[in-house]
Amino acid sequence: MAAHPGARGTARPATTHPHPATADRPTVLTGATVVLPTETVHDGQLIIDGTRITATAPENAEVIDVTGHYVVPGFVDLHNHGGGGASFTSGSVEDVLRGIHTHRLHGTTTLVASTVTGDMDFLAQRAGLLSELAEQGEIAGIHFEGPFISPCRKGAHSEALLRDPDPAEVRKLIDAARGRAKMVTLATELPGGTDSVRLLAEHGVIAAIGHTDATYEQTVEAIDAGATVATHLFNAMPPLGHRTPGPIAALLEDDRITVELINDGTHLHPAALQLAFHRAGADRVAFITDAMDAAGFGDGRYWLGPLEVEVADGVARLLADGTIAGSTLTLDRAFKRAVTVDGLSVEDAVTALSATPARLLGMDDRIGSLEPGKDADLVLLDGGYELKGVMRRGEWVVGPQLH
């Protein structure tokens, strides 16, 4: 969830800014553990020429020894509302760019900007602003989370602004995004929900089931209609029951569904995460942040429309009732937690943070893995999985920190 203008935090994002790494010379990263789609290569190398990964190192290449480090693909975030004190829902263009850059500093080289529930005309206006940034390559597209969600599972959305998913209104948002709408989260059991799923599928937009009070049977119907994503599985939906399994069972069991997981230690118990991985596998899991303004910024008070949010010790909750209000997560932290706390392999973490979301977005021909011809998007991690460098399209966002 994203907070609105007037957010107050106690810390500022880092001031590192991109600087060209390969404008004059190709670069070879050598001595690294390189996580490739089919294998992990120890004492390997990665070659960057211009904005792309290449198979052969030119003679004039700069060689950087990164022995003892991992090189993994840049992270891909499907669901992100802001960061660095900036909101994707309500901030200026400058604010949005600051939020994007904050997440790049933490390894997210591709990001879908998410909005929150608002007035339809306002959301259409925001879609116009965000679509321009998508056209410029700053974001991968737009995700509308709300207003077509259940008042029973609204989370930190304003109930007064919720509405049923009328296909005509869903179409209004798609049109406002000028071909840059990537995903819409719906409570598909609401009137018009199934028809809206069909509409989204017909227009090549991901229909995501979330903030829903659907039964198991209603969820199956929505999947058959074309839904392909579970918005932050487990959160804002009925719990798994042995007589009334609800949406969770239907979403986990169907190979057509990719499940989003917020791996911040607050939204999910480790056992729930393990359940999702064991049932769905890394190829169907996408780690997301669901970040709001405080990500990379700090604790403090923030506004979510008319709802005040308190961020304390990195956890965002509504001041009124303590409901979780998005996260302050960054994907480098999600990666480290996946390996060191959840016991996932580095390879599975890479799949869930890069390959799976890239494929879902239809961008896996360019991003999501380290292969010749693809964008030079990468993250450098030390042996303790701490971020030590970020490259996006051949330029260092965070230069190698090797000492």
> Tokens in use for 82?
């802001």
Tell me which DSSP letter residue 157 carries: S
C-alpha–C-alpha distance, residues 105 and 379, integer Å: 10
Residue 90 and residue 125 in contact, taking contact as beta carbons nearer than 8 Å: no
β-strands 229-230, 258-262: how paired? Answer: parallel
Cis peptide before 13 (omega within 30 of 0): no
Q: Catalytic one among 49, 264, 290, 293?
A: 290
Q: Cα torsion at 343, 248, 171, 203 (round to 10°)?
A: 60
Instruction: Find the largest Cα–Cα distance for the chain.
Output: 66
> Tokens in use for 46?
């990665």
β-strands 27-35, 19-20: how paired? Answer: unpaired
C-alpha closest to that of 350 among 1, 33, 113, 52: 33
Q: Is 213 a catalytic residue?
A: no
Q: Which amino acid is at 242?
A: H
Q: Cα torsion at 200, 113, 117, 249 (round to 10°)?
A: 60
C-alpha–C-alpha distance, residues 141 and 130, integer Å: 8
C-alpha–C-alpha distance, residues 189 and 149, integer Å: 9
Residue 120 and residue 172 in contact, taking contact as beta carbons nearer than 8 Å: yes
Q: Within 10 Å of residue 345's Cβ, how many Cβ atoms?
A: 13
Catalytic residues: 290
